[in-house]
A and B are shown apart, each in its own frame.
Chain A
């Protein structure tokens, strides 16, 4: 019975983030991206100076959409289990995605990506977290996800957030 429950698909309510969700989104974004190849090993003060304004600019843009997957977690029925920040349009971009620990590998990111309608080709502007120290030579999470998406006929490629912003400003 327990095993059956564990493999049952998650019940998710996918909708745009509410304003009160944005601090959580910003916090996850910074903390996860700090562990990427571009932030790992960097002092937090330097990281904040370099990346916090960039993340805030993207969150504040009118064309940025933040889609959240709400579901049951820790006794709350409407906890954020994952989110996806993206910009549809001529230069479609996925900026960052997050799935709560313990809810990974259950298809939340895929469902968010499908719900976003961003299409089969997109740029992504922030690298993902590196694996743990014992696997430092393994690729960061973004590369693993992009490789897996190819098998589904979805194609993403990295473009630095500053360069993407220059193209859409």
Chain B
């Protein structure tokens, strides 16, 4: 038995040397472009909240802020988050929640 097919809208935001990538589950009736815009705004809001709490430079904590913001904005959707605080190709924090919570 195969796992369910998954489709995500991938949105990248770069802020003050931090790169935040989110993937939000794309459903059949969704507007890809609206979901892309909203995902980017969610990442900006999460970064703003993390910065206000003095935690935006900690990529692990920042990823948690983004996760909470994504869950609040897109409840019951699959998602993934990737955050990188450097210019190197390593040092990424990744969070995956591939299947809808029930």
Contacts and interface: CB of A to CB of B under 8 A. Distances in A.
Interface of A: 91-92, 120-121, 123, 146-147, 150, 153, 155-157, 159, 163-168
Nearest to B42: A121
Contact of B15 (A123, A150, A164, A165): A150
Interface of B: 13-16, 31-34, 36-38, 40-41, 43-45, 47-48, 51-52
Given A159-B40, A163-B33, 18 more contacts: A91-B34, A121-B41, A121-B45, A123-B37, A123-B40, A147-B16, A153-B51, A155-B48, A157-B14, A157-B15, A157-B40, A157-B44, A163-B36, A165-B33, A166-B31, A167-B31, A167-B36, A168-B34
Contacts of B36: 159, 163, 167
Given A163-B33, A166-B31, A123 B41 contact: yes
Contacts of A157: 13-15, 40, 43-44
Contact of B33 (A92, A120, A155, A167): A167
Contacts, number: 51
17 contacts: A92-B41, A120-B48, A121-B41, A121-B48, A123-B40, A146-B15, A153-B48, A153-B52, A155-B15, A155-B47, A157-B40, A157-B43, A164-B37, A166-B31, A166-B34, A167-B34, A167-B37
